[in-house]
C-alpha cells in the first residue's frame, strides 16, 4: 500500500502530489486511532485475565504501558502517556476518537484535547468531547494553540474548581532536568510554579541590567545562575563529583576521540581533557583516576564479580559506566538502579553479567508478572540483555561501547518479535 502511495512517477502532477501528502496525513491519524483502540483493548484484556486469576485491583495492568512503548519503539515514559490517551479516547471521548480516525485531528491535536480535559469528571469530559469534536468541519483551519485554548475554555466553564485544583496539583510536579544541547552545551530546565519561575527570571534579568563589563545580557544571566546555585564563580570548577570516561590515549591527547560524562553523554575528548586539567590545577578540587578495561575493537567494558546481594559500590559504578543510560530499549533516562536481570531470589548472581543499569520506572516494569530479562555477552564482547514481555515479545538491548573505541561496522542493536 505504501509503495503505491509513494510511487512519485505515477503522481507527477503537482496537485496529485499534494493530494497524496494529505492522504498520507489522514492515514497517520487513522493509524493513531487504530493504535489507541488496540492499546485500550490490550489493557482491558490483561486486566480481566488478572481479575479472573485473583490479582488485587491495584496491581492489575502493570507493565502494559511499557509493552505499548516497546511495540511503538518509544520510551516507557511516553508509553504511559500513550496508554492514558488511548483509554481516555476509547472509553470516554468517542467524538475525539472519530475525529482522529477520519483525519480531522492529528494524534498531537487529539492529545491536546485529551490533556486539557483530564481534570474533568467523566460526564463533563463527555460534554467537552461532544462540544469540541462532534462536528469535524469545525476543526478545519483551527491551529494547535487555538484548539488548546478552546478546550481549556470549555473545561473551565464546565468545572472551574477542577481546573484550579489541577493548577495546584501541577505545582507538585516541579522539577529540574538536564539534556544535551548541540556544540557541547546543555539545557538545564526548571519546571516551576509560575510565580517562582517569573521571579527567578526577573532576578537574573535585574543582574544583567546593572552589569556593564562587556558580557551580553544572556551571558550575565547564565553566569549569575551558575554562581548563585553552585556558590562559586561561573568559570571555576563546581564542587561535586563529575565522572568522566575517557580512553588513556585520548586523555593524554594522542587521539581525537569522544569521552563520556556520566549523566550527560558524549563530549569531544578535548573537553574532557580540559575538565581533568582544570581539576588538577584547582587546589580545592581533586582529580582521581580509575582504570576500566575495554576490549579492543568492540570497546566492551570487561566484567567484575561479587557474591553479595547488594551490588558492591565498585560493581555498581562499573555497571553505571558500562550502561551509561537505562538499558530498557528506547528509554533514555539516567541510571538510577543497578539491579539483577535475573532476580536474586531466583538464583540470579550479583555480577556484572547479571547486573543491569535501569531507571526506577523500568526496574519496576521489568518486575511485572510474566517478564523475563536474559543477559549475555555478544561475539564482540558487548553486554546484551533480552527483555521478554508477558506476551512473549522480545526486545534486545546492547550496552554502548566505551568512549573512544567505536564498534566495528555491523555491530548494531537487533529487534525481533516472537
Ligand atoms: Zn528506563
Query: What's the CA-to-centroid distance between 38 and ligand 1, angstroms?
Result: 23
**Residues contacting residue 368 through CB under 8 Å, at least 6 positions apart:** 62, 63, 66, 390
- How far apart CA 329 and CA 385 sit, in angstroms, is 10
**Residues contacting residue 203 through CB under 8 Å, at least 6 positions apart:** none
- How far apart CA 199 and CA 125 sit, in angstroms, is 35
Question: What's the whole-number mean pLDDT along residues 382-407?
Answer: 85
Q: Which of 296-310, 346-360, 378-392 has the lowest mean pLDDT?
A: 296-310
pLDDT band at 287 (very low <50, low <70, confident <90, very high): low
Query: What's the CA-to-centroid distance between 362 and ligand 1, angstroms?
Result: 4
Contact 322, 383 (CB under 8 A): yes
H or E stretch covering 176: strand 175-181
Query: What's the CA-to-centroid distance between 331 and ligand 1, angstroms?
Result: 5
Percent of residues, the chain, with pLDDT higher than 90: 45
- At 330-358, the pLDDT tens digits run 998 888 888 899 888 888 888 888 999 99
- For the record, the C-alpha cell of 219 comes out as 551571558
Contact 356, 341 (CB under 8 A): yes
- How far apart CA 322 and CA 301 sit, in angstroms, is 6
Query: What's the CA-to-centroid distance between 365 and ligand 1, angstroms?
Result: 9
User: Could you give the 3-state DSSP secondary structure of residue 388?
Assistant: strand
Alpha helices in 255-331, H assignment, sequence order: 269-281, 313-323
- For the record, the C-alpha cell of 337 comes out as 538502579
Query: What's the CA-to-centroid distance between 360 and ligand 1, angstroms?
Result: 7
Distances (CA, A) of 191 to 165, 203, 359: 18, 17, 20
- The more confidently predicted of residues 379 and 246 is 379
Query: What's the CA-to-centroid distance between 333 and ligand 1, angstroms?
Result: 5
- How far apart CA 275 and CA 288 sit, in angstroms, is 12
- How far apart CA 30 and CA 22 sit, in angstroms, is 12
pLDDT attached to residue 415: 35
pLDDT attached to residue 3: 54
Phi, psi of 233 (to 5 degrees): -55, 145
Query: What's the CA-to-centroid distance between 338 and ligand 1, angstroms?
Result: 12
Rounded (to 5) percent helix, strand, coil in the chain: 50, 15, 35
Contact 32, 81 (CB under 8 A): no
pLDDT attached to residue 274: 73
pLDDT attached to residue 232: 76
Query: What's the CA-to-centroid distance between 326 and ligand 1, angstroms?
Result: 5
- At 205-253, the pLDDT tens digits run 998 888 888 899 999 999 999 888 887 777 765 555 667 777 766 666 6
- How far apart CA 79 and CA 85 sit, in angstroms, is 10
Query: What's the CA-to-centroid distance between 87 and ligand 1, angstroms?
Result: 23
pTM higher than the cut 0.75: no
Distances (CA, A) of 135 to 117, 126, 132, 139: 18, 14, 7, 7
- How far apart CA 331 and CA 70 sit, in angstroms, is 9
Distances (CA, A) of 247 to 3, 108, 252: 46, 43, 9
Q: Which of 126-140, 149-163, 312-326 has the lowest mean pLDDT?
A: 312-326
Query: What's the CA-to-centroid distance between 60 and ligand 1, angstroms?
Result: 21
- How far apart CA 408 and CA 297 sit, in angstroms, is 7
- At 58-82, the pLDDT tens digits run 999 989 999 999 999 999 989 999 9
Amino acid at each position: 500500500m505504501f509503495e503505491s502511495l509513494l510511487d512519485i512517477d505515477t503522481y507527477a502532477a503537482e496537485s496529485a502530489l499534494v493530494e497524496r501528502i494529505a492522504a498520507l496525513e489522514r492515514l497517520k491519524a487513522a493509524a493513531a486511532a487504530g493504535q489507541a483502540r488496540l492499546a485500550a483493548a490490550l489493557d482491558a484484556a490483561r486486566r480481566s485475565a488478572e481479575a479472573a486469576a485473583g490479582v488485587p485491583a491495584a496491581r492489575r495492568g502493570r507493565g502494559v504501558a511499557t509493552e505499548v512503548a516497546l511495540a511503538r519503539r518509544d520510551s516507557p515514559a511516553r508509553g504511559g502517556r500513550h496508554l492514558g490517551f488511548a483509554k481516555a479516547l476509547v472509553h470516554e471521548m468517542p467524538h475525539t476518537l472519530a475525529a482522529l480516525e477520519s483525519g480531522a485531528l492529528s494524534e498531537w491535536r487529539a492529545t491536546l484535547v485529551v490533556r486539557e480535559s483530564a481534570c474533568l469528571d467523566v460526564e463533563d469530559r463527555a460534554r467537552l468531547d461532544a462540544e469540541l469534536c462532534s462536528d469535524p468541519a469545525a476543526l478545519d483551519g483551527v491551529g494547535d494553540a487555538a484548539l488548546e485554548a478552546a478546550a481549556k475554555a470549555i473545561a473551565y466553564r464546565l468545572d472551574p474548581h477542577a481546573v484550579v485544583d489541577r493548577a495546584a496539583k501541577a505545582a507538585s510536579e516541579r522539577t529540574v532536568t538536564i539534556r544535551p544541547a548541540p556544540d557541547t552545551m546543555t539545557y538545564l530546565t526548571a519546571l516551576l510554579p509560575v510565580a517562582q519561575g517569573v521571579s527567578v527570571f526577573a532576578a537574573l534579568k535585574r543582574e544583567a541590567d546593572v552589569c556593564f563589563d562587556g558580557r551580553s545580557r544572556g551571558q550575565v544571566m547564565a553566569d549569575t545562575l551558575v554562581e548563585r546555585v553552585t556558590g562559586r564563580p561561573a568559570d571555576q570548577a563546581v564542587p561535586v563529583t563529575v565522572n568522566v570516561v575517557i580512553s588513556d590515549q585520548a586523555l593524554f591527547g594522542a587521539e581525537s576521540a569522544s569521552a563520556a560524562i556520566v549523566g550527560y553523554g558524549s563530549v569531544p575528548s578535548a573537553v574532557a581533557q580540559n575538565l581533568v586539567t582544570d581539576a588538577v590545577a584547582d587546589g580545592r578540587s581533586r582529580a582521581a583516576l580509575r582504570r576500566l578495561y575495554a576490549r579492543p575493537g568492540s570497546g566492551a567494558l570487561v566484567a567484575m564479580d561479587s557474591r553479595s546481594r547488594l551490588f558492591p559500590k565498585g560493581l555498581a559504578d562499573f555497571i553505571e559506566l558500562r550502561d551509561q543510560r537505562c538499558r530498557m530499549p528506547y528509554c533514555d533516562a539516567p541510571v538510577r538502579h543497578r539491579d539483577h536481570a535475573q532476580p536474586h531470589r531466583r538464583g540470579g548472581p550479583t555480577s556484572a553479567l547479571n547486573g543491569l543499569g535501569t531507571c526506577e520506572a523500568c526496574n519496576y516494569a521489568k518486575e511485572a508478572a510474566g517478564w523475563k530479562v536474559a543477559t549475555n555477552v555478544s561475539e564482540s564482547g558487548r553486554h546484551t540483555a533480552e527483555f521478554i514481555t508477558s506476551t512473549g515479545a522480545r526486545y534486545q538491548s546492547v550496552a554502548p561501547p566505551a568512549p573512544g573505541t567505536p564498534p566495528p561496522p555491523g555491530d548494531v542493536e537487533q529487534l525481533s518479535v516472537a
